[in-house]
Structures are given as structure tokens and as C-alpha cells.
A and B are shown apart, each in its own frame.
Chain A
Amino acid sequence: MTDSTVIPTEGEAGFGDYVALLKPRVMSLVVFTALVGLLVAPVPVHPVIGFAAILFIAIGGGASGALNMWWDADIDRIMTRTRARPIPSGKVGAEEALALGLALSGFSVVMLGLAANVMAGALLAFTIFFYVVIYTMWLKRWTPQNIVIGGAAGAFPPMIGWAVATGGISVESVLMFLLTFMWTPPHFWALALFMKSDYNQAGVPMLTVTHGHDATRRHILVYTVLLAPVGLALAFTSIGGPATLAAAVVLNLMFLRGAWRIFRRTTEAALADGYAVEKSVFKFSLFYLFLMFGALLVDATLRGLGWGIF
């Protein structure tokens, strides 16, 4: 993007601008993991109720995205990557985003509580609170560990999906939470290493800026090591099975190898080949999460067919 002047569009946003406020790309991860949490649960859910529940979880996630953009409008205006978002570009007013976010938060929580159960609704409410208040308002601008704890917000959806089916929390749902929770730091920091960003200018403490690239490389390795046992443990719970075990072994070995390679590199070496390793590990981390949750689905299907082993 070149330097450009933002022309205010007379405060008349199109429908798509409001959709953009709900961060549709983040929503796709929320929908997928929540759906897996719902489908692998041992209690069958009526398809219409399941569909409605996933929809309300997605809307709740979108609402927290709108509230995040409302609060962060000042730093979004500074950073090139976020300058085109609806509020900094002048398409949607900040107070409109606040109103939409609050309204959709209340709507999604109440509707999920009515469609599924109170536990699912309460978990969704907590997720929105965690993302907006704990992460966006508090941690993001205060500590370089922001995304470690903030990642919890993105990790809740499978727990909510599980609660929709079972009405409760269990070892399985907590492990699904931990899978995304431990995955977020290495995934995000691999991105932060090669992405030229202006977090510094915006005053957001990002680990790569505050502690340097070498510290970030160490952190990636440590969190990838901590991530490995979570997937393996999942394989031996009631929702695990041969597919989850195979995926956990193979994917964790690949992720560990990538993290090790990142750890061994110096910034000079990374600059020399244009951050090739960091980029490939980042891409792989996307597959990692998708395939791990996909493996849980495969095992659930196998159990449904009566081919369960464990």
C-alpha cells in the first residue's frame, strides 16, 4: 500500500463494512473449533440446535472483534496493516462499532443460553469478556506476554461447543482448550519474526520488539515443547483415538523440528534467506491446528461407525 489520503465516505457504511467489523477470518477458526468441540462430545445434538449454537458462538466472536476494533481504533490508525479497517478508514464510526459490539454480545449470549444451555451461554460471555477486557483493554498494551494469555480467548470456542452438547466442562474440553492455547504463542511469534510491523510506533509491547528476535526464538521453542504433550494427552481421552494419536505424533515432531530450526537460526541467517524457515513454520502451524482438530473429528466418526479402538 502506498501513502494514501483517506476520504471520509459521509458516514454511510455499506453492509460489508459492518461485516468487516466482525473479523470474518478470525470467525472461521472459531466456527471450526467450536464445531469440532460440539461434534466430538458424547451427547448427540439436534442438527438445528447445533447449527444455531455455532451461529451464535460465531456472532459472539464477531461482537468481541467489533469491540476490539472500537477500543483499538487509535493504534489501528497508526499501523499500516490495520489502517484499512472500518473505523480508521472512516467508514464506520467508533461509537457505531461499540453499539454493534455490545448489542451483538448480549444477543449472542442470551440466544446461545436459550438455544443450548446456561453453561454454554456463560462460557461465551466469559470469552467475550476475556478477549475485550482482559486482552484488548489490559494485556495488549501492557506486557509482551500479551498474546500468551490473550490466546486463551481464541481457545475457548471448542469448550463452548462441548458445553452446548454436554452442558458442562470436562478433561476433554479443557485439553481442547489447551491445544489452541499453547499453539497460539509459537504460531503468532513465528509471524511476528518475519512480519515488518510498526507495533513499536503504536506503543504495543511485542516480544520481538521488547526482548529482541533471539528471545522470541527461545520462546517459540519452549512453547512448542509445552504444546506437544497436550495433543498426545488428547489422544488418550475418550474423544481421542488412532487418528488423533497418529496426528499428534507426526505433527508435533514436525512442529518441534521447525521450532528447533527457528531456535538455531540467527537474525543474519534469517535476513539472508528472507525468513524462509520462519515463514514455513508459520504456514505449517496453521495446518497443525486444522489437522489436530480434524483428527479428533475422524476419531469421532470412527467411533460412530463402531470402529473405535480405545
Chain B
Amino acid sequence: MAITKLHELHGRRFGRNLGVGLCLAAFVALVFGLTLAKVSGGGGTQAFDHVVRPELAQEGQGG
């Protein structure tokens, strides 16, 4: 059965849920922004791509 009568408590609970929801949304946006900032300023970022990359070999090492 649905609640027909709203208590002041429900308003407080809704406010809390809304606050947490907005915080989470803001956090998602922040991490996205951080990702863009880190990747765009990343410089020599390289992933494992299973290809021989001579520039990674140190001096004096064969390869």
C-alpha cells in the first residue's frame, strides 16, 4: 500500500537522498574532468600494445 500521508520526516529523507545523489553526480563529473586533464597533459603515456618498442629498452641492454 502506498503511503498516502506525508510526514515532515519524508521531506527530510528526500532532501538527504537528493543531496547524496547530487554529490555522486558531481563526483562522476569531477572524475571525468580529471581524466580529461590527466590524459590531455599526459605526455608520454603508453599502453601495453604487444609491439616491440625500442625506445623503452635501456642503454646497454640487448634487444
User: Which residues of A does B touch, CB under 8 Å?
Assistant: 10, 12-16, 18, 46, 48-49, 52, 55, 115
User: Which residues of B does A touch, CB under 8 Å?
Assistant: 9, 12-13, 15-16, 18-20, 30, 33-34, 36-38, 41
Q: Point out the residues of chain A lying under 8 angstroms from B37, CB to CB.
A: 46, 48-49
Q: Which of B9, B13, B19, B41 contacts A46 (CB 8 A)?
A: B41
Q: Point out the residues of chain B lying under 8 angstroms from A16, CB to CB.
A: 15
Given A15-B18, A15-B19, A46-B41, do A115 and B12 touch, yes or no (CB 8 Å)?
Answer: no
Cα separation A121 to B59 with both chains bound (whole Å): 34
Q: Which of A15, A48, A49, A52 contacts B15 (CB 8 A)?
A: A15
Rounded to whole Å, the gap between the CB of B12 and the closest CB of chain A is: 5
Decide if B34 touches A48 in the complex (CB within 8 Å). yes
Q: Point out the residues of chain A lying under 8 angstroms from B20, CB to CB.
A: 15
Q: Point out the residues of chain B lying under 8 angstroms from A48, CB to CB.
A: 33-34, 36-37
Q: Which of A10, A13, A15, A52 contacts B30 (CB 8 A)?
A: A52
Q: Point out the residues of chain B lying under 8 angstroms from A55, CB to CB.
A: 30
Cα separation A169 to B59 with both chains bound (whole Å): 33
Least CB separation from A49: chain B residue? B37
Q: Point out the residues of chain A lying under 8 angstroms from B38, CB to CB.
A: 49
Q: Point out the residues of chain A lying under 8 angstroms from B19, CB to CB.
A: 15, 18
Q: Pick from A13, A14, A18, A52 the residue with the most CB of B within 10 Å.
A: A14
Given A46-B41, A52-B30, A55-B30, do A14 and B16 touch, yes or no (CB 8 Å)?
Answer: yes
Q: Point out the residues of chain A lying under 8 angstroms from B13, CB to CB.
A: 12
Given A48-B36, A52-B33, do A12 and B9 touch, yes or no (CB 8 Å)?
Answer: yes
Rounded to whole Å, the gap between the CB of A66 and the closest CB of chain B is: 15
Q: Point out the residues of chain A lying under 8 angstroms from B15, CB to CB.
A: 14-16
Least CB separation from A45: chain B residue? B37
Least CB separation from B16: chain A residue? A15
Q: Point out the residues of chain B lying under 8 angstroms from A52, CB to CB.
A: 30, 33-34
Decide if B16 touches A13 in the complex (CB within 8 Å). yes
Q: A14-B16, A52-B34 are in contact. List 19 more A-B contacts (CB 8 A).
A: A10-B9, A12-B9, A12-B12, A12-B13, A13-B12, A13-B16, A14-B12, A15-B16, A16-B15, A18-B16, A18-B19, A46-B41, A48-B33, A48-B34, A48-B36, A48-B37, A49-B34, A52-B30, A52-B33
Least CB separation from B12: chain A residue? A14
Rounded to whole Å, the gap between the CB of B32 and the closest CB of chain A is: 10
Rounded to whole Å, the gap between the CB of B11 and the closest CB of chain A is: 9
Least CB separation from B17: chain A residue? A15
